[in-house]
Amino acid sequence: MKLGRIGLHLLLKSCVLGILMTGTALAFPGAEYLPQAKVTPAQARQIALKEYPGKVISEELEKESGGSGLRYSFVISNQKAKREVGVDAKTGAILENSVEGKTSD
């Protein structure tokens, strides 16, 4: 029984180490731009969902023309459609709210 607990303990440690080593792989695309953003991802998500209620199915932080040049982009799905909602990462302003096509930006 003691050997089983040791094996479980080692397995748990290796899983935690694996997660820590992949760190940025678990973050959303564009996380390297977070130091430049004044609006947090959680705040931007809340703004986007207020603009178009539904379920966020993808999100990224990207440099793109318009607004401050740095924006969060959310694809939000509900029973009606999928929409891309862009939120300026420095001001929180809505930059886009458009129907998401078959190919995303």
pLDDT at 65: 85
Q: Which residues contact 64 (CB under 8 A, 6 or more apart)?
A: 70, 71, 73, 86
pLDDT at 80: 85
pTM attached to this predicted model? 0.71
pLDDT at 12: 52
pLDDT at 38: 96
Distance of CA 2 to CAs 7, 14, 77, Å? 9, 19, 49
Q: Which domains, and CATH codes, for the chain? A: 29-99 (3.10.450.40)
* pLDDT by 10-residue block (mean), the chain, 105 residues: 54 48 57 92 96 95 90 93 95 92 56
pLDDT at 66: 82
